A and B are shown apart, each in its own frame.
Chain A
Amino acid sequence: MTGAIVVLIVIVLAVVGWIMARARATRLQAEVGRLATNSRPSQHGWYVALWTALPSLLFLAVWANVMPGLVTGTVLGTPAAQALPADDFSRGAILAEARAIASGAQQGAFNPQSNTLVEPFRAATNRYSAIGAVLAAILSFAGGAYAFSRVKPAFTARSRVERVVMWALLLASLIAIVTTAGIVASLIFESWRFFSMVNPLDFLFGLKWSPQSAALGYGNKDAFGAIPLFWGTIFIGAIIAMAVAIPLGLMSAVYLTQYASPRLRKWMKPILEVLAGVPTVVYGYFAALTVAPALRNFAAGVGIPGASSESALAAGLVMGVMIVPFVSSMADDSIAAVPQSMRDGSLAMGATTSETIRRVLIPAALPGVVGGVLLAVSRAIGETMIVVMAAGLAANLTLNPFASVTTVTTQMVQLLTGDQEFDSAKTLAAFALGLVLFVVTLLLNIVALRVVKKYREAYE
């Protein structure tokens, strides 16, 4: 809480600095004339405000990281800490408890020894917070005063402020790289730990997936074979969902671009796009509540063996409908990119519209459509909620769409939402699955974009 107040004070100081510097620069400008000044008064204001706020905020950020160490050091130096046990583990536990009580995060101690340390903790924390606040205020004043003393007509405040702005812009765009690096690093690091427990070949090519048995101590050898998961993912995301999404998406794109009246197009296009905007958890609930029971009853009625209330078909069908607008808009784009002359040529030869579409437009647009389908597949296999809610947990290697299969994403959720300690092979397996998913979707995207790009160039 005190930290927030200090930050607020620094910001108020910066605003005051801005106003004062601007006023002074305005006065100076009036004295020497506008043409003799280098920068606008508000730029002088920004210069002072930046000098007031930035160094002191940077200091506070550093201080917030250093302070816990200093506090603990001081507490360990007090007489009350002499009685602490020598081994690091219980010592750390007592210290952590005392810290939590002192900060108000916890009431009452399990270990009576913690209570003796609460007061030293409080005192040390107060002291170091006060030191930090004072130092931040001094930095603020010093920076502001230094900058204020430089407010002169000839001073190049503008270029200096703009340099800071450029740095801020660059930093903001570097966050994307940092995030990507963070994803790759955390996936690789945790997967590395997993693969030090489980042979990568067993993981990638094993046919048996039962992490529960590994957790129960039956060994890791036969527990983490991910082939059933990969198959389930492909079966639902790349086969069933695409069997729904490609015909529906392609045909609706064809109809909307070639046949529909502008009025119908104006209404139907947004309606189709609503399908893409419905949250996946809603689709998942719909699949589990309505579609899956209906399919099971149908399968039981027809007499298909192995029908389950959590079927691959239910998840795949609903996922396919979700992907329709995506496929449709990609197909729309690639059909629109086919040169009008090709269409006109075909129609002039006497072909009907449907013949033109089937024999000329779609073949010409095919690379773009294929690229779009690849992107759709990459989206479908990364989709989580529908399969978590509708596809089930049994890792079956089956071709029966009415049976239950499981997918990579379902298992990731399953592995990480248990009460396992983080270091077990079971939780780390989720990261290995994540790494596979990340690599596959990345490759699909790269290939798809390359196909689409190449095809666009062919017509330009």
Chain B
Amino acid sequence: MASRAPTDWTSDAMRRRIARRYSAERRFKALGLLAILLSAGFLAFLLVSMAANGLRGFTRTEIALPIDFQRAALFVDPQALAMGNPDQVLASANLPAAIDKAAEEVFGKGGAHLLSAGAMKAVRDAIVADPAILAKKVTIAVPAAEGIDVAAKGKGSDADEARVARLERAGALSTGFNWPFLTSSDGTDPTVVGIWGALKGSLLTMGITLLLSFPVGVLAALYLEEYAPRNRWTDLIEVSINNLAAVPSIIFGLLGLAIFLNLMHLPRSAPIVGGLTLALMTMPVIVIAGRNAIKAVPPSIRDAALGIGASPVQVVFHHVLPLALPGILTGTIIGMARALGETAPLLMIGMRAFVASPPGGITDPATVLPVQIFLWSDEVGKGFIEKTSAAIIILLLFLLTMNSIAIYLRNKFERKW
């Protein structure tokens, strides 16, 4: 074996080599940091751009519209208004014409086009709130039309910008919180659309999903973890559950379409079908989370219960399940959060219909929040951009709340044995 002189670490060649290796080390480390910062930066950019667009969706531009109700000669009987259904009474009065006339008088020709379709509702609400104004001349703040609204927020066409400048000089413009956005449903005019219908559809759908997937998921997890004999059937069940957790969500939509709609003839685009489909999707998530939670309960608990004479069913339902419940709930909330954001399977079962009123029950046509976002994103109107982002903010807030609850549960109840 050839002997070799010991390496001279102080020589220039070696110093250079070490310096090179150290700078490679620093580069590598910087690259890692860069990767993380890129991902986090993307997330920040996404959230900031949604917030920047979406926060405008929660406000609306209002125009102060003076109306002289006496001159408008509305045939409204104040007594009928106080007694009966005000909507019905006012529907027979020619309110839209009166509003249009008032607008043309104040803002000149084309003045009616400055107002949104929601103006009628604002005036109607004002009359219902105080019928005495029918004998007076009052100024009511009514929502502006889409073009004016967009221009007032700084992104409109030149013609609209000019109109806004004129209105501002007249002191007729103001900005208010867009309450109708939280209380009304889908529509064709972005100034009057709201998310309540979609939100209610989401809540109904989630309710059905939870009601079906939680008990089935927990029971299946208990069976597989505590009782199942080791045989072919059990293996088949386990393989199915693991596969279902990995199947693309759109395939569940095809299943829902083929089975629930075409075979069982359940109503199209109803929360019940959406809930059933999402329940099948969420169930494997709950089973997997549930099994992990049950596995974490130490065997000594079971042995102790069995030792004092409890039956296997009593062991599980009196001891194991209560101890595993926080973990199961955490997994369930995470599964539900995923189902809440799911869009593709619901498109397959027809929940993309235009639904202008909130669903009354689980068999009524409905849409859900993410699908509503998808539908609005397809609209061409500029006013819809901010509405879409505003709906996204609401969806993200819901998801954030659910995940925070899950993290809170985990931190509060997690037990190290």
Contacts and interface: CB of A to CB of B under 8 A. Distances in A.
Contact of A417 (B227, B259, B317, B352): B352
A319 B124 CA distance: 47
Interface stretch (B39-47, B79-87, B95-103, B155-163): B39-47
Given A169-B220, A175-B283, A259-B29, A352 B215 contact: no
A166 interface: yes
B295 to A, nearest CB: 16
Instruction: Determine chain B's interface SS by DSSP, over half rule.
Output: helix
A116 to B, nearest CB: 26
Contacts of B34: 251
A279 interface: yes
A385 interface: yes
Contact of B39 (A170, A175, A252, A445): A252
A437 B251 contact: yes
Interface residues of A, number: 85
Contact of B244 (A179, A352, A412): A179
A389 interface: yes
B215 to A, nearest CB: 7
Contacts, number: 236
A385 B247 CA distance: 15
Contacts of A274: 43
A280 B377 CA distance: 13
A182 B259 contact: yes
Contact of B250 (A174, A357, A382): A382
B254 A187 contact: yes
A86 B217 CA distance: 50
A109 interface: no
A278 B46 contact: yes
Given A166-B313, A172-B220, A384 B247 contact: no
A256 interface: yes
Interface string B355-397: 0000000000000001101100100000001001100100110
Interface residues of B, number: 82
Contacts of A298: none
Given A272-B36, A286-B50, A382 B255 contact: no
Contacts of B337: 277
Interface stretch (B137-145, B164-172, B181-189, B339-347): B339-347
B396 A176 contact: no
Interface in B190-240: 215-217, 219-220, 222-224, 227-228, 236-237, 240
A177 B236 CA distance: 7
A398 B228 CA distance: 52
A179 B280 contact: yes
A279 B341 contact: yes
Contact of A254 (B32, B262, B389): B32
Nearest to B334: A277
A263 to B, nearest CB: 14
A169 B21 contact: no
B311 to A, nearest CB: 6
Interface string A232-260: 00000000000000011111101110110
Contacts of B57: none
Contacts of A357: 28
Given A285-B373, A290-B49, A409-B344, A183 B216 contact: no
B128 to A, nearest CB: 29
A438 B259 CA distance: 17
Interface string B247-262: 1111110110111001
Contacts of B228: 173
B223 A279 contact: no
B24 interface: yes
Given A183-B247, A282-B50, A382-B251, A352 B258 contact: no
B247 A176 contact: no
Nearest to A282: B392
B240 A180 contact: yes
Interface in B273-291: 280, 283-284, 287
Given A173-B228, A321-B39, A288 B377 contact: yes
Given A169-B222, A186-B255, A275-B39, 14 more contacts: A251-B31, A251-B36, A256-B36, A279-B342, A281-B374, A282-B396, A284-B374, A285-B374, A321-B42, A354-B25, A354-B29, A382-B248, A412-B250, A437-B250
Q: Closest 7 CB pairs between A and B?
A: A382-B248, A279-B341, A255-B32, A172-B219, A251-B35, A186-B258, A384-B344
16 contacts: A172-B219, A172-B223, A173-B237, A251-B31, A252-B36, A255-B36, A259-B29, A268-B40, A271-B43, A278-B341, A279-B342, A354-B24, A375-B246, A388-B344, A422-B262, A441-B247
